Amino acid sequence: MLERLRNVFSLLGRKGVEDAIKELQRALILADVDIKMVKELTDSLRKDIQEELKKHPGIPPTEIAKYAIYNHIINLLDVGRPLKISPQTIMLVGINGSGKTTTAVKLAFWFKNRGIKSYVMSLDTERPAAKEQLKQLAEKGGIEYTEEVRNDGVTIIDTPGRTAADEKLLEELRHLKMDIMPDRTFLVIPADMGRLAGEEARKFQDSIGIDGIIITKMDGSAKGGGALVASKEANIPVYFIGTGEKLQDFEPFDVEKYVKRLLGVPDIKTIQEMVPQETKIPERFDINTFHEQLMQMRGAGPLNKILSALGMNVPVDVLEGMEEKMKRYDAIYKSMTKEERANPDIINESRIRRIARGSGTSEADVRQFLRDYKRAEKLFKRLKKGKIRGLPRL
């Protein structure tokens, strides 16, 4: 079966676009992506491929198809923002046996390992010994069980299994939520969930409100396509995946990995080949390149184009409030010495002070500039290595 998924991409060379789309459909169906969504996806994919073909007559259609398939899937997933590592209350909800109780302790354990005091609390009085299960797991992880929400750390709240089908019980859960007022509510979905995933997510979203998804049991052979549908239906990102029964079998969601698992590893040589001619990736990257790209980005310059052509979400922080920032950044750039621009690592505290004074900005602005530069540099390196999201390296 896995071989078949891998074939999605290798087939392209031999049999053409339509066959590749058929294989893609089968791969998605085998991953439990809903058939309606599969159809929508492939319809718009066909359109995309046609348009791209017109735009880039030089690139072989099969290459265009590969590129479009990958971007399409990636774009469906809302990446979301990383979870804040600070005291908060998180409630877990979901269908019976999805993994809520186990995940509650995993999540608490995750926070604990990041230096935050964490607690778990059970509101499940239905499943026999649910509280006992939570307590036993908590003890294993050195996590305190609590009977009420704590302010001095993270409290993870476990709830009884609920399904979209039972509106009365969902309503009850909504009241529970109103009493507790958690900062976030996550829907726990097993990787092997079938046709109900989308509907469950939508109904949970409508009736109680959910902020994110955690996919469990990703260690099995199931591909978790239901989570893709759920994420789209409820318009919320996936935050974590569970990969086993132990408390440490838990990791932040990684879109690249997920899509690779969904489709198999694409047979794409290098990123450069995919990028249209006029948007060449610069040879090296320093503050000069960063500045140049930033300035060009104001008029949708090459970097921005490359990133969006790759289906990448440019990190929100880099683009947010860009216009005002841009002026400040321009001034900061101009206050730097040649040496500093070529070799930003030498910029120490006293240089930061000097640059801030010289550019009429604050030291915090200069530090932010440097952080953004670092981030862009990282992106650039990944781009060079072809490791960018959407077009993974072989």
Here the contacts of 301-310 (C-beta below 8 Å, separation 24 or greater) are 302/278, 305/279, 306/275, 306/279, 306/281, 306/383, 307/379, 309/275, 309/276, 309/279, 310/71, 310/271, 310/274, 310/275, 310/383, 310/388, 310/389, 310/390, 310/391
> Closer to ligand GDP at the Cβ: 171 or 219?
219
| Contact string 195-234 vs ligand GDP (x = CB under 6 A) | ---------------------xx-x---------------
Query: What DSSP string describes 79-90?
Result: ---PPP-SS-EE
- CA–CA distance, 385 with 394 (Å, rounded to integer): 10
d(CA 257, CA 392): 9
**Which is closer to other proteins, CB of 26 or CB of 387?**
26
CA distances in angstroms from 371 to 111, 374, 384, listed in the order given: 25, 5, 20
For residue 133, the minimal CB distance to ligand GDP (Å) is: 6
57, amino acid identity: P
Sheet holding 184-190, edge to edge: 144-145, 118-122, 154-158, 89-94, 184-190, 212-216, 238-242, 250-252
Supply the minimum distance, in Å, between the C-beta of residue 109 and ligand GDP. Answer: 13
Chain residue at closest Cβ approach to Mg ion:
101
CA 334 to chain centre: 35
- Map tokens 């230096």 to a residue: 115
Q: Which stretch binds ligand GDP (CB under 6 A): 7-15, 242-250, 336-344, 373-381?
A: 242-250
Q: Does 344 bind ligand GDP (CB under 6 A)?
A: no
Closest distance of CB 232 from other proteins, Å = 16
| Least distance (Å) between residue 248 CB and other proteins | 15
Where does this chain bind other proteins (CB under 8 A)?
1, 26, 29-30, 32, 34-36, 95-99, 101, 126-130, 132-134, 136-137, 140, 163, 165, 190-197, 217, 219-223, 225-226, 245
User: Would you state the structure tokens that stand for residue 30, as one six-digit string?
Assistant: 């085998």
Binding mask 78-97 toward ligand GDP (x if CB under 6 A, else -) reads: ----------------x-xx
Of 94 and 311, nearer to other proteins (C-beta) is: 94
Q: Which of 89, 101, 243, 361 binds Mg ion (CB under 5 A)?
A: 101
User: Which listed option, ligand GDP, other proteins, Mg ion, none, makes contact with residue 242 (CB within 5 to 8 Å by class)?
Assistant: ligand GDP
Look at the block and give the residue holding tokens 């809520």.
100
Residues 249-288 that bind ligand GDP (CB under 6 A): 249
Residue nearer to ligand GDP on the CB measure, 67 or 253: 253
What is the CB-side half-sphere exposure of residue 175 using CA atoms within 13 A?
Answer: 6
Q: Please give the residue ranges that form the binding site for ligand GDP (CB under 6 A).
A: 94, 96-102, 127, 161, 216-217, 219, 242-245, 249
Q: Please give the residue ranges that form the binding site for Mg ion (CB under 5 A).
A: 100-101, 130
